[in-house]
Structures are given as structure tokens and as C-alpha cells.
């Protein structure tokens, strides 16, 4: 993976995946707040065109829509990666492949001749294959439904190698995908009780490790968030 450049001065990365569904169905999953919250992070799309993605406490990403052409394309622009960084532009494109699948493509762009933020662009690119796997499972198993998303986060000074093997979901589940080149310490689950999906991962953030557990629940009895939060806390 590497940052691409074009003659306009744009530096960009992109990722794509084949997703089950007709364009209108896939569009609902990537372009509405309830749809995005069913496979990514809690997301709000407001009437003023702002999109807020909640990655965790104090980690909100805010963008504003700059293009809207359902069910084919939309674009948004948000804050960059820090002081001096230009705005980060994001474009989503949906293309029908056949009667049952679409190609979904996402492009992240910076207009700059500096390479100061290439590492951050590459980190974003490396994360999409895993989220696209979750999107695929969502469309495959829970079409037409929206998730109740539970998000838990822990920060620890321990390296992931010290505790990763102790992390395992205490509910019946089928492991769908394990480690990847982008995030080696992670698992994606198809859960049975309650029915849904789960994404568990640990990644290095400076001198510390961030551990995240997201449960996408589609039906069943509401879970006890306090119990799950304590479960994660005692294992890292």
C-alpha cells in the first residue's frame, strides 16, 4: 500500500470491496447514520450536512458533505491530521456489479505537495479491508436491519502481546476473520446470542495500547453494558 499522487497536487489512498446487495441497499449501509452504525462506528448525519463519527470518548470526527448523488456517490470534507494539514476529503462510490452485488470504493485525499501525512493516509487505507469484511457480513446476514451498537474502549500501557490471547468473547460465536496485515491483533465475529457481529482489536497508540470492542446487536435481549465494560477492563 502506498500513497498515490496526480497532476492536480492530490495525494490519495483508496480501497474497494464487493458487497452483497442492490445499489439502493448498499447505499443505505454506507450513506445513512443507522446504516453506517451497523458495521462501522456510531455515526450521525445531520440536516445541516455534517457527519459525525464517534470513534470513542474525545475521538469524534466531523465532516461536511460536499456532494450527494444517491445511490451512486457522495463526498465529504473534514479536518486533517493536525496543525498545518489540509482538509481530508473522502469520496464514496457505489457501482452495480450484477443483480446481487456492488463494488464499493472509498477514496481519501489531501491536496498538498508535502509528504508529512502520508503515514496517516496509509494507516486509514490499511484499516478498510477489515471494516469492509464487517460490512459484507452485515449485508449478508442482517440485510434490512439496523444494529444497536455497543462500543467499549480501554487504554493500557501493556503491549498487546501480553494480553491478546486472554481476550475471547464469552458468548457463542463463529470467528469469521482473524489477523490481517493492517491490524494483527484483531478478530471479527458472527455472534449467536445475541445475534449480531463483533469487532475486537488492539492497536499501538504512542507508548500505550488501545483496545476496542464493538458489538453490533441485531435483536435479542438488551445486553448489560456495565458487565461488558468490566469484562474488557479486567482482561487488559
- pLDDT score of 179 more than 70: no
Burial degree of 180 (CB within 10 A; 0-12, 13-18, 19+): middle
User: Which of 96, 125, 141 is at the close of a domain?
Assistant: 141
The string of pLDDT tens digits covering residues 159-171 is: 998 998 888 666 6
Q: Are 174 and 189 in contact (CB under 8 A)?
A: yes
Tell me how many domains the chain contains.
2
Distance (Å, rounded) from C-alpha 148 to C-alpha 184? 27
Task: Please indicate whether residue 17 or residue 83 has the higher confidence score (pLDDT).
Answer: 17
If asked whether residues 102 and 210 sit together in one domain, one would say: no
The string of pLDDT tens digits covering residues 31-59 is: 999 999 999 999 999 999 999 999 988 88
If asked whether residues 104 and 164 sit together in one domain, one would say: no
- Whole domain around residue 39: which residue ranges? 4-141
- pTM, full prediction: 0.94
Instruction: Give the model's pLDDT for residue 150.
Output: 96
Distance (Å, rounded) from C-alpha 101 to C-alpha 123? 27
pLDDT grade for 82, boundaries at 50, 70 and 90: confident
Q: How many CA atoms lie within 13 A of 85 on its CB side?
A: 20
If asked whether residues 12 and 121 sit together in one domain, one would say: yes
Question: Regarding beta strands 88-96 and 73-78, do their DSSP bridges make them parallel or antiparallel, or are they unpaired?
Answer: antiparallel
If asked whether residues 136 and 206 sit together in one domain, one would say: no
User: Which of 108, 141, 174 is at the close of a domain?
Assistant: 141
- pLDDT score of 99 more than 70: yes
CATH number, position 48: 3.30.530.20
Amino acid at each position: 500500500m502506498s500513497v498515490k499522487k496526480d497532476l492536480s497536487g492530490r495525494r490519495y489512498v483508496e480501497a474497494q470491496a464487493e458487497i452483497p446487495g442492490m445499489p439502493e441497499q448498499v447505499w443505505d449501509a454506507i450513506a445513512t447514520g443507522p446504516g453506517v452504525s451497523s458495521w462501522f462506528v456510531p455515526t450521525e448525519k445531520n440536516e445541516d450536512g455534517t457527519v459525525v463519527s464517534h470513534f470513542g470518548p474525545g475521538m469524534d470526527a466531523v465532516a461536511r458533505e460536499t456532494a450527494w448523488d444517491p445511490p451512486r456517490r457522495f463526498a465529504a470534507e473534514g479536518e486533517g491530521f493536525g496543525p498545518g494539514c489540509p482538509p481530508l476529503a473522502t469520496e464514496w462510490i457505489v457501482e452495480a456489479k450484477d443483480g446481487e452485488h456492488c463494488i464499493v470504493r472509498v477514496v481519501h485525499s489531501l491536496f498538498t505537495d508535502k509528504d508529512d501525512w502520508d503515514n496517516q493516509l496509509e494507516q486509514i487505507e490499511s484499516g478498510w479491508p477489515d471494516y469492509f469484511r464487517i460490512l459484507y457480513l452485515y449485508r449478508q446476514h442482517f440485510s434490512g436491519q439496523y444494529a444497536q451498537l455497543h462500543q467499549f474502549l480501554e487504554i493500557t500501557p501493556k503491549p498487546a502481546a501480553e494480553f491478546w490471547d486472554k481476550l475471547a468473547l464469552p458468548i457463542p460465536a463463529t470467528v469469521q476473520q482473524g489477523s490481517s496485515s493492517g491490524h494483527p491483533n484483531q478478530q471479527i465475529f458472527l455472534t449467536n446470542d445475541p445475534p449480531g457481529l463483533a469487532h475486537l482489536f488492539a492497536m499501538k497508540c504512542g507508548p500505550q495500547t488501545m483496545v476496542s470492542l464493538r458489538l453490533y446487536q441485531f435483536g435479542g435481549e438488551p445486553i448489560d453494558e456495565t458487565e461488558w465494560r468490566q469484562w474488557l477492563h479486567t482482561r487488559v
